[in-house]
Structure 1
């Protein structure tokens, strides 16, 4: 069975919770809302073979995921960003599928951490 440590830098995540205090829930909700919008945009960019847009979206998603210490998702986004930079879009459907699956896990975990 997977643990949060398979997906997060837990030490950094706990520090983020401590630092953000009452604003932690807001941060997580904004991350989830942005990410929920970003995933279809990534798919559209890949379908349109728009390497620049794919790179830009993946870069933004990478940064947001890094900010919440989601290390596996950050790495997958880095790979997608690099492929967009290199204009190597063949076979990226699998990487995007991995991102979607990883994001589902991350989202469920983050929602379990909310104090609402």
Structure 2
């Protein structure tokens, strides 16, 4: 599994340099938060709550973007836009893609810690 498939390596390196000793803490917080977000996405979809789904996808997109997980951020953006337009058909597949991408991201981050 290639880092470049899931992250912007240059941005990630810059973040690691800037954060220095706090990089590991930041990544752990991101992982913990993300693990809590994933089931909430599914729950919002099951409840057909487009507003909640949009807000969750938006915050997950921002957090993922902050750690340079660009592929994951892009999937979250797609879900956010679908929810904004009330297009929940196909959202289940997008959430499955988000979950799969997140697992790859988490694995790579855990290897760095």
Mapped partners of 2:68, 2:76: distance in 1: 13
Aligned residues: 113
Establish whether residue 83 from structure 1 lines up as the match of residue 55 from structure 2: no
Give the alignment's Cα RMSD to 1 decimal: 0.5
Establish whether residue 7 from structure 1 lines up as the match of residue 2 from structure 2: no
Using the size of structure 1 for normalisation, the TM-score is 0.96
Mapped partners of 2:74, 2:46: distance in 1: 22
Q: Which runs of 5+ in 2 are unaligned?
A: none
Mapped partners of 2:97, 2:83: distance in 1: 16
Runs of 4+ off more than 4 Å: none
Q: Which runs of 5+ in 1 are unaligned?
A: none
Using the size of structure 2 for normalisation, the TM-score is 0.99
Establish whether residue 96 from structure 1 lines up as the match of residue 73 from structure 2: no
